[in-house]
Amino acid sequence: MANIKPFHGILYNGKRIDIEKVTTPPYDVISQSMQSRFYNADKYNIVRLTLGKEGASGKSKYNHAAFLLNNWLKKRILIRSKIPSIYVYVQEYFCKGKKRTRIGFIALMKIEDPRESGVLPHEYTLDKPKADRLNLITRTKANLSPIFSLFQDPTNEINKMLKSSIKGRNSIFRVEAEGVAHSLWETHNRGTIDKIVRRMRKKKIFIADGHHRYEVALTHRNMMKRRKGFRPAMNYVMMYFSNLSERENLTILSTHRVLKGIPNFNARRLLAKLKKNFHVNNAGGLEDLQKKLNRKCKREKCLFGMYTKKTGFSLLTLKKKDPRLDVAVLHARIINDVLAVKRRENSIKYVRNERDAFSLAEKGEYEVVFFLRPTDVRDMKAFAEKGEMMPQKSTYFYPKLLTGLVINKF
């Protein structure tokens, strides 16, 4: 059950700020070089809040982020909306040569324990990112970026209402970033909002992107309930909602695994061990491997690619049926059992681009790469409904939501 409501969103002042210079992708896909680029783009760039550096006068980066947020509000760089609203968010992009349009909306959702509600996660989380985000939310008292969630609406009634609410109106912001056009509208029509709120009450919510932030919001809410200063607004978290029934506009890309620090690693010995449970075939190179991975094959035959400097490119196909997804089989049967990698946060790097993943191993910085096919959204939904969890970074929903379009402060 999704208990949602409109809110007084905080937005950049379009009269004083060039929105294209202050928005960024989500914090967890920003590299160090990207962080520096965003810092240099504008002194009011949102990265200074979401992925800050240690502040002046010995302030921690979390305290400094809180100081900046409040300062920008005082200076009216950021403006709080006077009327409770939901925010219609449209993304236009190309995938495999076809133009796609994803529509959704941003609102507040009451925080529920996933074990006791219709809020369904599908990925495991790591402690270090959660500690980081908890420090940030505790200091800033704000959701600086929306969690990406999905709901099922086969009749598409909610999207029809969203489209009707923005028809003939100019968007508040339109941002072109990395080949994606992002547009945002503010909707405060009480009748439309009430209809959406009622329809959403019966929906299961699938967390697509932002598992760490959702867990942190729950932890923060529970923590604050035990302290003075708890406010009802802390029961809610800012979330983006999109209809998973429109599968043609929900794009999931692969996230590949690049590993280092493997105990007593030997590439040829690894290949020999894998042949016990996998058919191993050579691939001529990265392009050849990609073509073979992209070919249709039965889901029960788990398939992924591998590269090491000594053994080159290999295509691995599981010999026996396994109901689990490719990524789950990879982690359970190879990363955990064969390679015995324990320190995941330091040993595994998650890389979306195949060439970048290959380059890390080719340069000798990492020992082995595993190339994965994208997870199907129907599989993600099925696993979440069964209460089964997938390894971290099993899905990469594209395009990512922009950070900086709207903020929720409680």
Cα dihedral 97/99/101/102 (nearest 10): 0
pLDDT of residue 379: 83
Residue 334 has pLDDT above 80, yes or no: yes
Report the C-alpha gap between 253 and 327 in whole angstroms: 13
pLDDT of residue 300: 47
Top CATH class of 255-373 equals alpha beta
CB 90: neighbour CB atoms within 10 A?
A: 19
pTM: 0.90
Give 27-78 pLDDT, tens digit per residue.
988 988 999 999 999 999 999 999 998 765 567 899 999 999 999 999 999 9
Q: Sketch the domain layout of the chain as residue ranges.
A: 4-251+398-409, 255-373
Exposure string of 75-85, with b = 16+ CB inside 10 Å and e = fewer, is eebbbebeeeb
pLDDT of residue 57: 55
